[in-house]
Each structure stands twice: as C-alpha cells, then as structure tokens.
Structure 1
Amino acid sequence: MPMYSVAFPVDGLTSDQKREIAGAVTRIHAAVTGAPESFVHTSFEAFAAGDYFVGGEPAGPIVITGRIRAGRSDGDKQRILRQLAAAVADITGRPLAEVATIVRDVPSKYIFEGGQLMPEPGQEDAWLARLGGGPTTEELAVRHFEAWKKGDVEAIAADYAPDAVLVNGFGAITGREAIADFYRRVFTEWFPAEVREAIEFGRPLVDGDTAFLEWHGGPASYAADTLVIRDGRKQYQSFAAVFTS
C-alpha cells in the first residue's frame, strides 16, 4: 500500500482541505503509477507551534511523505513529488515554497495488507482477485470455453496473464496479445460460428491450479486443452487435436 503522511501546523488545515488533499494524493498516485486508487492511504499529523524547525528556526510548512512500493521509475517519482506539491499549494493557498514532498521506496515484500503481502507493481489485478475471492480454476476454465463457443476473442484474452504461454502444434505462442491474434485465426480459418455450434465439451477435470478438458466436433474428432491457472489468470495452456479434414 502506498502510505502518504501529511504533517501540518495545528489549525493549519480545515476538514474540507484534508479531504481535498487526500483526494488529490489518491488521484495523482493512481494516475502516475497505474495502481488502483483503493491502494492509497493518506493520514494527517498536526504539530504544535514550536515543534517543527527548519535550519534551527521554528517553521510551519506542510510536508507530505510518501512510502510507496519500490520499482517505480525516477521520472514517475519526480512527477508525484511535483504534482503533489502543486496540488497542496493550490488547495491551501500557500506558496509552493512552503510545501515539501518526499517519496521513499519500500519493497513490496515488506508490506502486509488484506491478509497477504502486497504485490509487485503491475501485479495488482491478480492480488485483488485473491483478496476478493477471484474465480476458481474450474470457474475460469468454464468461462474460457464458454467464450470459445461464442468466438469471443476479447473475453478469452482478458483472462490470460500478460506473459502467458500457449503451446500447440504450431509451437509456443507467448503473450496475451499474441494469443488473442492466434484465436482470431482459429475462429476465422478452422472454427467459424457454424462449425463451433457442433462442438461438444465435457466438464473440466480440475486438480489444484490445473484444468483438463476434452472436446470434439467440426474438423476435430478429438481435442484436449490443459490450462494452468495462477493468481486468477491463465498462465499456461497446451492444446492437441486429431483433425479429420
């Protein structure tokens, strides 16, 4: 979780300003990093007159310290710093020179929330799926074949991990987009709508994160798919078939 702490002089912020700042922190972090807004925490800590010094002299700035997951680029972190400072100055009417922003990296493996360690940047979808009770292996396998019957390439592709691998008689196809392109070819060249109507699927046999399903129809007298599901995504798939024509 990104945790932002806002230190400010007692009576230096109204309740409405705190709410506006929290909203700005959330929007800026999510927009720059791509992380879900629900990840962002913001807290406020007031300090009394005489409790904050700059250069040994009493001072009363607003200081935002962000502890964010390590892995962000220097450019992204600097955008966060500048945008937060500008937003707080605008909300409070203070000069930009009286607002300080700091960002510190914390490895994801040292952050625990929602009953599990936080994900690495870019792996939030799978983390949220586990947290919210994402689809089971069987549910995702059934969803895959229902979309297959409809020829819905977008629905099929959406459940693959970005680096998923599909292995078939043509070799290995790596990556969600490449797999989507392969399915477009499948539904155009071998299994158009009128052929898919004749396909008969069995129920997936599931063991842990693996689902196996046999089917037949159209040009395939026998076919079988094996799906490996990890973190709520199709990570690996193998396909084999006996074609009659």
Structure 2
Amino acid sequence: MPLYTVTTRKSLPDQKREELANLIMNVHCGLTGAPETFVNVMYWENAPLNSGIAINVLGTVRKGRTPDMNQTLQNEMAAKISDLLLLSAGEIEMSLFEMPAQWIMEGGEVLPEPGEEAFCEWLQKGHAE
C-alpha cells in the first residue's frame, strides 16, 4: 500500500514501465513521507480507455491525509507522468481512492496511520521488507 494501478491504451516498453514505477514511488514518498517499501505499481495494458485518454492512474492510498495533500499528490504525479511519457494533461486521468490504514497489511502487519510510521515498531525493525 499504496497501490497504483496504471492502465494504458498501448503497452509501455519495459524501461518506461520501470521509470514510471520509480516516478510514482518517488512522488508518493517524497510528498507523503511513506516508506518506499509500501508503494506498489501494477500495470494493465492494451485496455480500452475513454476517447483521448492515453493513461489512467488510480492510486489506492491510506486515508487520513488532508484534501490539499491529496490534490498536490495528484497534480504533481500527473505533471511528472506527462513529462515522462510526453503526454498532454488532457491525455491523463488521475484519481486517488482512500482506504483506512487498518484495512491494509504489509508483511503480515497492519499499516500505521499516515504520519505514524516512525512509531511503528515492526516497520522500524524492517519486517515489512
């Protein structure tokens, strides 16, 4: 968690997939402070999308951040995806879906609330890896 599902009309080359996954992780972690080990990216390629849309990114993220933070996360991620894939803003759909942390497990442990990672004993010991 978070899980970002990237849906594209056409397949992406392996290098672009890797670059995009790293971009998503870096933007998410850079803005939220979440550990990198939490970020997962999944691809669904050659999918039907709405007319004019080249990529759809749905991020399932932990609930508890401010609306401003979520908007910043969406805006920055969409802008960087646009730069990486040479797409216009209109060709990108970006959505976030919030899920309570207590509904999510990593490495057999329930995730801490956003901002409480430093107080999470199992995470500090590296059991989530």
* TM-score normalised by the chain length of structure 2: 0.88
What is aligned with 1:3?
3
CA distance in 2, matches of 1:81, 1:132: 29
CA distance in 1, matches of 2:81, 2:124: 34
Superposed, which structure 2 residues align to 1:18-29 within 5 Å? Answer: 18-29=17-28
The residue type paired with residue 111 of structure 1 is: I
CA distance in 2, matches of 1:110, 1:14: 34
Superposed, which structure 2 residues align to 1:162-177 within 5 Å? Answer: none
CA distance in 2, matches of 1:82, 1:60: 17
The C-alpha deviation readout for 1:148-174, integer Å capped at 9, x for no partner, is: xxxxxxxxxxxxxxxxxxxxxxxxxxx
Instruction: Give the superposition deviation at 1:59.
Output: 4.7
CA distance in 2, matches of 1:31, 1:89: 18
SS in 2 for 1:47: coil
CA distance in 2, matches of 1:94, 1:43: 20
The structure with more radius of gyration: 1
Instruction: Give the superposition deviation at 1:47.
Output: 2.8
Instruction: Give the superposition deviation at 1:124.
Output: 1.4
Q: Does 1:61 align with 2:60?
A: no
The residue type paired with residue 121 of structure 1 is: P
SS in 1 for 2:75: helix
What is aligned with 1:123?
116
1:83 to 70, 76, 88: 76
CA distance in 2, matches of 1:95, 1:60: 10
Q: Does 1:109 align with 2:102?
A: yes
Judged with a 3 Å threshold, the aligned counterparts in structure 2 of structure 1 residues 119 and 112 are, in CA distance, closer, same or farther, namely same
CA distance in 2, matches of 1:65, 1:95: 18
CA distance in 2, matches of 1:4, 1:27: 13
The C-alpha deviation readout for 1:119-164, integer Å capped at 9, x for no partner, is: 111221324135539xxxxxxxxxxxxxxxxxxxxxxxxxxxxxxx
CA distance in 1, matches of 2:73, 2:17: 18
Which structure 2 segments of 5+ residues have no match? Answer: none
What is aligned with 1:203?
none
SS in 1 for 2:71: helix
Which structure has more relative contact order (CA 8 Å, sep 6+)? It is 2
* TM-score normalised by the chain length of structure 1: 0.48
Instruction: Give the superposition deviation at 1:101.
Output: 0.7
Which structure 1 segments of 5+ residues have no match? Answer: 134-245
Asked if structure 2 preserves the Cα contact closer than 8 Å seen for 1:114 and 1:131, the reply is no
Superposed, which structure 2 residues align to 1:142-161 within 5 Å? Answer: none
Q: Percent identity?
A: 30
Instruction: Give the superposition deviation at 1:42.
Output: 0.8
SS in 1 for 2:114: coil
SS in 2 for 1:94: coil
Superposed, which structure 2 residues align to 1:186-197 within 5 Å? Answer: none
What is aligned with 1:34?
33
